[in-house]
Structure 1
Amino acid sequence: MSKLKKLPLAVRLIIVSALMLIVMAGTLTFVGHHEMRQTLKEFAQEENVFGARALMETLEEIYPEIEISTTAAGAITQIIWPVVPDSVPADAADTASEITGLDPTIFAFDRGTQSFVRVATTILNEDGGRAIGTPLARNEAYHALIDGAVFNGLVDIQGVPYNVYYRPILNESGTVTGAIALAQPHADLQASLQTKLDTKMLWVVVALSVMLPIAYLVMRSMLSPLGKMTKLITGMSEGRFDDAIPYDTRGDELGEIANSLKILQNSLRAADELKQANAARQAETERQQAEQRIVVTTLTEGLSKLSQLDLTVRIQNTDAEPFPAEYETLRTSFNELVDQLTETVSSIQVIAEEVTGDAREMAGSSSDLSSRTESQAATLQESAAALEELSQSVQSTAENAADAETTTNENREVTKATGEVVTNAIAAMEAIEASSQQINQIISVIDDIAFQTNLLALNAGVEAARAGEAGRGFAVVASEVRALAQHSSASAQEIKSLIAASSQQVETGSGLVRDAGKALNDIIDRVDRVAGLVSDIAVSAKEQSVGVSEINAGVRDLDAATQSNAAMAEEASAASEGLTNAAEKMTARLARFRLEGQAARANWAAAAVVSMADTPTDTGIAPIDLKQAASADPFRGF
């Protein structure tokens, strides 16, 4: 690096330019390589799309059922082929290959094996024959075709890398029935890319070989005037101011440098002349320095007194102590400044007294407000707590009323169910009563039959007696029949008596059940009225609970606001006390100034001391000692 700095500027610029050209050439080569690779890739993809269109148009002439959808630019968007045959003429693939220069392939999808099988192709297998009947490898292209998507990329076919374009073939329902593929050997694409890169590198080398000598000559011719300029500057540094300066008529940077050197030459010539004239002015300068020392000394004394807060100081101009006439404006300005400062401090003292009084009144008011606010906040907090308990009690009552409403509704439903049971019992009693009446009618019929049978048996006995011996057996039968008829009549009477008693009991039970039903209906009506009342009570309790909750929320918000107001009141009270203390401190500070009229200032200072002595001790700020404050930094706090 040190050796490079010792070289002439022209050589260094040429080296740097050459390095920049080389770096630029390398960058352009790298960017061009990337762009060319991308361009070739896009060109290969466009060729694949064009080949797919040529292949499908060839197949469309053989298979009319094929339907092709394309974009406005002619790119295929969808291929509809209901059934891809197991064998497709090889001429179709050969024709498409001749048109595009690519290797086309047609696949049929085998649903049993879930494979894409080649049915026509120009790709050869290992033995030199067409790869008909071979399945597509289950790679990225396979998964894309299964999903009905297009694949465009690099894959291995029969062990050889190809740049391929796969598009699925669908039926009318959108199910995959096959696929087409256009392939180009990746090696051919790489060879084309390498040839173009070699050509580009050759052109870059030729361009560098031509540009570097040209750059050297141009740099040398452009930088040669700098040497002459350097010699001129060296001569001016040695005191030669009469050398002619060239290139002052040029319109470039060298012309500007030449014009600047002319100005510098004239300036150095004038400076040399001034150097000779400075000797005559030395005496005048010494006189001015003496006057300046007087002014500086006087101002130093006046500013020293001002630093001690003495506003009575003035700069005088007398015969005994004359002040330089050239600096009379400075003396007058100093005196006017002290007068204005005296007037300002006096005004501030009056304002400080007023601020101290107002601050003390504000502190008292803020303290009272803080106390009242704290008391109000405590009362409101107790009210909020009581209202919270009332809200909880009302909410508990609402919940109990809701439970009572639920229980009453359940009792009403049970009572209604019992009423239905009693109604059914009344209906059953009435049915039993009707059955008893029918049984009585049947027994009456049986009794009539027994009476008729008894008459018939009696007549049969009379006729058997008339028949004599021949009718004796019939008389016995007639006697038995009569006895049976009498027995049946007696049994029927007993049953009739029992049925009558049972009917009487059933009638009594029916009456009792009817009375129970009436009483139960009355109970149901009363339960309905009670349920309605309980429901109204539950609704009212809920509404009261909601209202009390809203009031409770409002009271909580009011409590929070009151607490915040109390805090703000305390802060205001503290701020007022701080303002009072600050005003008293300012009063004490202003008391340190020495003004015209010492008696008035002393009275004012005494009042300030008394007011600070009366300051409440709970503020935490001790009264200021004026003597100690006077010995401290005079401008502290300002």
Structure 2
Amino acid sequence: MKTIRKKITVCLMATVLVALVAVGTTSITLNYSSTLMTVEQLMTQTANLAGERVEQELLAYRNVAMDTGRVTQLSDPEVPVEEKKAIIDERVSLHGFQRGNVIGADGISIFDGKDYSDREYVHKAMEGTAYVSEPLISKVTGELSIMVAAPLYSDSGEIAGVVYFVPPETFLNDIVSSIQVGQNCRAYMINKNGDTIADITLDTITKQNVEREAASDPSLKSRAALHEAMRRGENGFGRIEAADGPRFLAYAPVGGTDGWSVAVASPESNYLSDTYFGMLINVLVIVISILASIVVALKLSSNISKPMRACARRMKLLVEGDLESPAPEAAGRDETAELTRSTGEMVQGLNIIIHDIDYLLNQMANQNFDIVSSHREAYVGDFQSILSSMRNLKLELSSTIRQIDASAGQVSSASGQVSNGAQALSQGTMEQASSVQELAATITEISESAKRTSAAAEEAGEFVNQAGAQLGVSVSYVEELNTAMGKISDSSQEISKIIETIENIAFQTNILALNAAVEAARAGTAGKGFAVVADEVRNLANKSDQAAKATKSLIETSIAAVEEGSQAVGKVTGSLEQTSVYAGHVTEQMDVVVEAVEKQTDSITQVTEGVEQISSVVQTNSATAEESAAASQELSAEANSLKQLVEHFTLASE
């Protein structure tokens, strides 16, 4: 569990630690950044000054060369070489050059006869520009030299050749060697190709090119990047890795040259050693401050947590029911002292209240309700409700006991009445039980009679159902007969139509026979035979007509008989259908009778069961009445005992 002491210590330490770290980090960061800015400004200014110095030196040399190039005696072919040599030597001696030379327009020296036409400084001078060459091997001495060349003008102002001077071979090295911004500082110069042209040592001149060497040596990549910026003619500052540790490098272009640039390098330790020492001091101060704050935090948290822990232990004992142990004490006026005093007051107050409650409850347990609190002043604030509740409890219990006393008297009186009533009830229920038994026997006989009536009704219903079914069969037979009579009537009608056709045929035959007789009479003797035949045909036609009429008369009589039969059959069918309807009604009424008898039987059965239940209840009531009489006597005795117990209580007055 995380104690309050730990919480206070942790919070205080976290606050102090964050503040110290923030202040220390800010101080270190600002100090470091300020130092870097100062170093950058210092070294950048040094590099610019070095570049300007080289530029001024070279400008002075160029001015000497330009001034010498305007001496007309040097370009005059009439002037002897010795005189020209004397002029050059005078300038060399005056300005501290190593030597000088005059080159004709053809590139040949007028002094030593050597060809210098392949030299870049000759070409530049011939173009009319004063030019300072990079270090190169001299054709005179075979050593590294710098040539300061200028055009040689004739009287007419035309370029007639070149005049150049050779400054001391170490003049650039002397310049860079004189640049000192700190211990182990180094300055050097490179040309537009990145080749070293001036250094504190001659071993690297024209031989060292950092950018090419960086291709095979990764440690030179940081310097190579800065050299690339130098070749672009930029001013700048950076950090490089060297064999002896990291260095700061400042660089600046050299004006008036063909892409020269000067660089100044110095170890970081020259500038940051004091800064690192200051950072270490800051860290130590922070650590010491943290340790001091830990001591202070522990002391402060102990002063706060110790009284609180003592109060917590006393509160725990109080929760466990310990009211006698002494409360912690504290001197002072701060919050912890106030907490300690409040804890003591709370324990003392609870002790008084609980002992007073114990006294009141013991008195009430000993049947004494006529009591009051002996420490009413201890019940303050919300504790007043406890004293009020105790008083209400005392009064309510006293009132309840009084009511119990009164109720006991009433119960004693009522129990006697209940006992007498129960005895009378027992006698009455015994008489009712006898009557109920007789009623049950009578209802049983009625039930048996109803069952027999129900069986007879069911049997009559079955007979009626059978008669109704037989009437339905008869109706169907009569309907079939009626259908057959209809078919006979239809057939007779068809036969009547055929007879009419035969009568027509006979009539037409008779007319034809008559016509044939007329024609035979007209024919005379030749038609006699035909007349005889016509007579026979007429006779046959008459007979056919008579037979057809007779048949027609019979058929009409048959049709009339069939119609009378059909009417009779229809009447019989209607009568049978009506009889079937009546039989259905009878069946339905018999079903109703059967259902009513069955319901009556069920009702009688239910009545029988109810009577039996009544008989059982009556017997139970009889037993209960006897038990109630006994219980009432016991209740009366208990009520008397209760009154005796109530008399032992000392009740509180209103």
Q: Normalising to structure 2: TM-score of the pair? A: 0.30
Q: Which has the larger radius of gyration?
A: 2
TM-score (norm 1): 0.31
